[in-house]
Structure formats: structure tokens, C-alpha cells
Amino acid sequence: MLATSLRTLRRGAFIATALAAGSFAGAALAAKVAVITPYLAQPGTQFYVEAFQAVAKDKGWEVNVIDTQGDVAGVISRIEDMVNQKVDAIVINVDPAQVTAGLQAAKDANIPVFGMDAGSDPLLVTNVTSNGYAMAAETSTYVADRIGGKGNVVMFVFDAFPPVQARGVVASAVFGNFPDIKILDKVTPDVSDGGIADSRAKMEAILAANPTAGSISAVWAGWDQPALGALQAIEAAGRQNEGIVITGIDANPQARAEIAKGGNFEASVAQDFKGIGSATADAVARVLGGETLKQHVIYVPTKLVTAANAAQ
Amino acid sequence: MLNFARRYGTLIGFVLILVLFSARLPDTFMTARNWLNITQQLSMLMVVAAGMTIVMVMGDFDLSVGSMASLSGIVAALLFTLGYPIWLALGLALLVGLAGGLFNGVLVALTGILPFVATLATLTMFSGAAFVVSGGKTISGRAIPEAFGNFARDGVALGPVTLPNLTILAAVVVLVVFVLLEQTTFGRRLYAIGGNIEAAHLSGVKVRRLKLIAYALTGFAAALGGLMYASRVASANPTQGSGLMLNAIAAVFLGMTMSEQGEPRILATVIGVLIIGVLDNGLTQMSVDSYVRQILVGAIIVLAVAASSISKSSRR
């Protein structure tokens, strides 16, 4: 019975070969590209992969998408298998520091590996991701504009996590360029419960310390959770009509919902997941075309989300 | 004829899989390079499945091996961050495995809780402990000593090929379990318990003590598998071992279809692990969807076990 099913399988494989041979006639040298991720089930990753495949289809590549379902060691194993198959390029969406063994195998075989929002690594040709610096610049300049370049700003930062630390540096520089903007406080919330509850508690203390209307002009947060916590604190204190401007970063669904209401939480920044996927495919195409990429990180533009476009 | 199919069906299936992949991947499958890759890729599963075989010989189960593998990796990584030397951190992580396994043994042998329930409870406990110890985060980067990550990348040069360290470690574990189960009184007594626990008890086998030891060994193997995983990815994450448990049980089951009385045998477990690892490797190279592999492994278990029960009922 097993033998029969295997025979059927083999017959299917023959048919597949015949079909593949037919399509090869059209594109004599279809590039083989493997996309390997442990996180295919996550919505962001699906956007990357779909956009990548759309570009790959135009280019006529054979794309093999491999999901190891959370198994990071499995990513190393599958990179080894793809190296063995001598694919033309490999794309990963996982922390490169955890799959060094696989990256080394690819390098030894001269197969280029690309990061799709993976993190920087010397063994990657390039990593395509959103520009955290630009995201922080978007929201901090939004704040400076809304408060007319004048007033007290509360910042929520998190220096222990490098991507968020970079955002804080940029926002501080932007506010520092306005002589009449004063950083009232730089708060690092406890994130062990998600960050909203402790941010709310910290904001309540700041509100109590600055009771007069207009003493706080804005709250700039390095990501959405502290912005949501600050909003709750302001609403609970009944100070939502003082015109305090709140901004976050990431534009998660909860943040979008608040921004769409048109309240104090006015803006956040959304990453362009599809853009990251197609930009990765473009980078692969350039390298397959013989180009040497100068950039080890390729940044994909992000989008400011306000009440005008929060529902999109 | 039916008996032949029952006994050798899985093995024939395995050979057919090898033939299929060799035919479809003529240049890359049956190469020394690929087989070294395969043995390295399935080394962690091999170690955990070898440990699983020990308790399954007694007709028991251990569902907690996956979360124990995660926990041991996390414990070692945390000790690295605290500046412990590598040998001490690894030793303590293995002790955690031994202690966790012993705890399983206490619940099953002394308290008398069904293995399924007891180890389901400890699965959750070990997993929770891994989250508590790590704070839910992945420990990676500079916190992990370079030598620890390099271990999984290095090997012993044998002429033109390099035998990966992980492969060697897995082979040693299989050898130790083989000697333990097939060549010692301890092993024969475990098989006696698996055959008929009452008879074993009446004939003077110290069932409780043997169960304690067996579970402790399974926990130890799970911890070792977890450390091998952590070395391979040069990091530790509180969920990274979770996929090992079902695959380990599936491997032992696949093996059980090959033995005379349907009992687990370590060498048969090795074939079971190879089937899973080879399917992963070959289907990936053939660009077959990774989810299809899961369906195939399940189908092979069903086919093999069905062949076995059909041949049994025809004898009646």
C-alpha cells in the first residue's frame, strides 16, 4: 500500500518534471530563490512574502517559500538544503545572529543571502527594513509643528532595546533644534506587562506634578504602547481638552483605532511591509544581474498615520 | 506475507523514500555532504527520541521533553550571561534535566499519576519556568560564548570530510542507550515492565525505582538535546524545543512498527528519526511544500500501524 502511494507520488513527480521542462523552454535560466522564515504565520511576514512573490513572478523566478513554523534551527537546516541545491539566492526573515551556521554554509558556496527585515549581519548581502531614524523624525516633527515649536514635551523612551533607542536619539535632536521646546521628562516604562499599564501610571504621576492646563503640550512615545498608556492617563485625569498632542510609532490596530477617533492620540508611523517585500526582491534582482550592492541596509520609506488615513 | 509487510513495511517505505529522492535529486541527495547535513540536522531529535525510547519501553510516555529542551537551553544561556564558565553552565543545565526527569518519575512511579497527565502537567511547568527564567526573551548575541556556538559548527576532520560534532554526540547517545537497553539487566527489566508490569513486579523487579531512573534519563537526554539546539542557533528562546516532543514520539512509533512484538527498539527509533529527517531534507530540496512533510509522516505512521493491526487480526 505504501509502495503504491509512493509509486503515485513518483508518477506525480514525473509529471511535475515534464511540466517544469515545458516552462523551462520559455525561460531558459529561471533563477531559483528560496525564502526561509520561521514566522510565516505572522501577518507582517505574509505581507513581505506576498509582495516578494509578486515581483518574483514578473521576473520569472522559481520561488520556494519554506516555513519552519517557529523552529529557528530548522532555518539553518533548510539553508543547508538550499545551498546543497545550489539555488541562486536565499532570503531570510529571522535574526541572522541565530542562523550563523547556515549563513556560513551559504557564504562558503558563494550563494548570496538577503535579509527581509532580518537585522544586520556581515554575512548578509544586505538587509531590507524600515528606517527607525526616519520614523522618529516623522513623529517628532509632527509634534513640533502641532505645538507651534513651543511648549513642554514628555518623552517615552526605551534605551535597552536598540531600535527604540535610536528613535529616542532622533526625537531628542529634533526637539533640541527648537529653542522654545522643553523636554519635561524622559520616561522609561516597565514593559514586562506590555507597557501600557506602567506608562499610564508614570503619566498619571507627571500629570499630578504639572496640574495647570497648558503645562504639558505633547507626549512623544517611541512606540505605540506608552502613547496608549499616556492617553488613558490624560482621559482619566479629565484633561483631554487641554490640547495635549500624543504620538506613537508602529501604528498597531489599537493605536489606529484611537487615532481615527480624532482625540489626543494624533499620529503614529506605519511600516510598509509590502514595500519591504518588493524592495527585497529588487535587491535580489540587482545582485543576480551582477551588481554589487553598496548598502548593507536598504531602508524602505514609512508612512505617517493620522486621523486622515488611520482607517486604511 | 502479511506478517512480512507488518515487520518490514516501514523499512521498505524508508528504502523507497531513499530511492525516490536519489532518482529525483541525482546530483545532491546521495552525497556525503548531504548525509552529513542530514545527520547534523536531526542530531537533536535523535538524542531526544533516544531518551523517549527509554520510557516508552516501559509502555510510558514523556510529553515534557520539548519544554525541558527549551528550559535547559535557557538555563545554560542565563548562566552564561551571569559569567559562569561554559562547562559549569552546561553541567547545571543537564542537572536541571535530570531533576526534571526525576520529578516526572516521582509523579508517575510514586504518586501513581498516569504518565500522560503527569508529563502534560510538567510540560506546562517546565515551559512556564523557561519563560520566567528568561523573562520571555531570546538570549542571544554577545551573551552566548563564541566557543558554545562554534561547537555546533565544528567537527572532526576525517580525511576529505568533516564529521560534525553534533552528529558524533548523537551517535554516542544512541550507542549508550543501545548498550543500556539491549545489553544490561536494567534494560531487560524495563522491557519486562513494558511486557507485563504485574508479572514484572511479582518476579521481583523494583518497578518504582526503575521508573524513576528511566524518567530521569529521559529528562537528561531532553536537556542534552536542548543544549545541542541552543548551540546550533547560538541562542536560547523559551519555546525553541517545543517541536521536538511530537517528532520524538512519532519517531519511536515509526520504530515500533518494525519490531517483533511492537515494542520500541533504539535502532528502530534511529530509522524513525531518519525517516523524519530525510523527508524534511529531500522534500525541501525538491521544493515540496514543508507542510506536506507533516502529512506524509502522519500517513506513514497510519499505514505502518494499520498493516500491523490487520496482520494481527488476521491471525485470530
Query: A155-171: per-residue pLDDT in tens?
Result: 999 887 778 888 999 99
Cα–Cα distances (Å) from B66 to B3, B51, B197, B287, in that order, read 35, 12, 27, 28
Q: Is the pLDDT of residue A91 over 90?
A: yes
Domain carrying residue A145: 132-270
Pick A85's closest partner by Cβ from B13, B20, B28. B28
CA pair distance A157, A202, nearest whole angstrom = 12
Domain assignment present for residue A62? The answer is yes
- Minimum Cα–Cα distance from B141: chain A residue: A97
Instruction: Determine the average pLDDT of the residues in A68-93.
Output: 94
Coil, helix or strand for B146?
helix
User: Total domain count for chain A?
Assistant: 2
Tell me the nearest-neighbour CA distance from A264 into chain B, angstroms. 32
Domain assignment present for residue A47? The answer is yes
Cα dihedral sign for A123, A119, B127, A80?
negative
Domain assignment present for residue B23? The answer is no
Q: What is the DSSP letter of B31?
A: S
| Domain shared by A219 and A277, yes or no | no
User: Total domain count for chain B?
Assistant: 1
**All 3 cell numbers of residue A33?**
530563490
CA pair distance B174, B272, nearest whole angstrom = 13
Mean pLDDT (chain A, rounded): 89
- Residue showing cell 488476521: B314
Return the CATH number at B57. Answer: 1.10.3470
Q: Which residues have a Cβ under 8 Å from the Cβ of B10 and sit 6 or more positions away?
A: B254, B257, B258, B271, B272, B275, B300, B304
Per residue in B209-250, pLDDT (tens digit) is 999 999 999 999 999 999 999 999 999 999 999 989 999 999
Tell me the nearest-neighbour CA distance from A287 into chain B, angstroms. 23
- Residue showing cell 502534560: B120
Q: What is the pLDDT of residue B3?
A: 67
Domain assignment present for residue A288? The answer is yes
| Domain shared by A166 and A203, yes or no | yes
Domain assignment present for residue A160? The answer is yes
CA pair distance B279, B160, nearest whole angstrom = 26
**All 3 cell numbers of residue B176?**
549508550
CA pair distance B149, B154, nearest whole angstrom = 9
Domain carrying residue B37: 2-14+33-315
Q: What is the pLDDT of residue A15?
A: 43
Domain assignment present for residue A197? The answer is yes
DSSP H helical ranges for A97-218: 100-108, 132-146, 162-176, 196-209
Q: What is the DSSP letter of A215?
A: S
CA pair distance B32, B19, nearest whole angstrom = 16
CB pairs under 8 A between A and B: 101
Instruction: Determine the average pLDDT of the residues in A69-80.
Output: 93
Q: Do B281 and A67 touch (CB under 8 A)?
A: no
Domain assignment present for residue B26? The answer is no
pLDDT in tens, chain B (316 residues): 566 766 787 888 899 999 999 999 999 999 999 999 999 999 999 999 999 999 999 999 999 999 999 999 999 999 999 999 999 999 999 999 999 999 999 999 999 999 999 999 999 999 999 999 988 788 888 889 999 999 999 999 988 888 999 999 999 999 999 999 999 999 999 999 999 999 999 999 999 999 999 999 999 999 999 999 999 999 999 999 998 999 999 999 999 988 878 899 999 999 999 999 999 999 999 988 778 877 887 888 788 777 767 766 665 5
Decide if B297 contacts B275 (C-beta within 8 A).
Answer: yes
Cα–Cα distances (Å) from A270 to A48, A227, A282, A309, B260, in that order, read 14, 15, 21, 11, 61
Return the CATH number at A197. Answer: 3.40.50.2300
Q: Do B303 and A97 touch (CB under 8 A)?
A: no
Q: Is the pLDDT of residue A26 over 60?
A: no
| Domain shared by A78 and A137, yes or no | no
Q: Do A74 and B16 touch (CB under 8 A)?
A: no
| Domain shared by A230 and A142, yes or no | yes
Domain assignment present for residue A220? The answer is yes
Domain assignment present for residue B77? The answer is yes
Domain assignment present for residue A96? The answer is yes
**Both ends of chain B: CA-CA distance in Å?**
16
Task: Tell me which of B284, B300, B310 to substitute to probe the interface with A (most A C-beta atoms closer than 10 Å).
Answer: B284
Decide if B289 contacts B243 (C-beta within 8 A).
Answer: no
Per residue in A246-268, pLDDT (tens digit) is 999 989 899 999 999 999 999 99
Task: Give the phi and the psi of residue B158 in degrees, each rounded to 5.
Answer: -125, 90
Kindly report which listed range (A25-39, A196-210, B178-192, B207-221) carries the lowest average pLDDT score.
Answer: A25-39
* Structural element, H or E, at residue B224: helix B207-233
Domain assignment present for residue A79? The answer is yes
**Side-chain half-sphere of B84: how many Cα atoms within 13 Å?**
17
Q: What is the DSSP letter of A161?
A: S
DSSP H helical ranges for B136-206: 146-153, 165-183, 185-195, 197-202
Pick B20's closest partner by Cβ from A9, A68, A69. A9
Q: Do A3 and B287 touch (CB under 8 A)?
A: no
| Domain shared by A40 and A145, yes or no | no
| Domain shared by A259 and A167, yes or no | yes
Task: Tell me which of A71, A88, A191 to substitute to probe the interface with B (most B C-beta atoms closer than 10 Å).
Answer: A71
CA pair distance A21, A14, nearest whole angstrom = 10
Per residue in A100-148, pLDDT (tens digit) is 999 999 999 999 999 998 888 999 999 999 998 999 999 999 999 999 9
- Residue showing cell 485470530: B316
Q: What is the largest CA-CA distance in chain B?
A: 64
Tell me the residues of chain A between 186 and 205 that have a Cβ less than 8 Å away from chain B.
Answer: 192
Q: Name chain A contacts of B25, Cβ cutoff 8 Å.
A: 85
Domain assignment present for residue B158? The answer is yes
Pick B240's closest partner by Cβ from A67, A72, A80. A72
Domain assignment present for residue B19? The answer is no
Q: Name chain A contacts of B16, Cβ cutoff 8 Å.
A: 2-3, 6
| Domain shared by A50 and A110, yes or no | yes
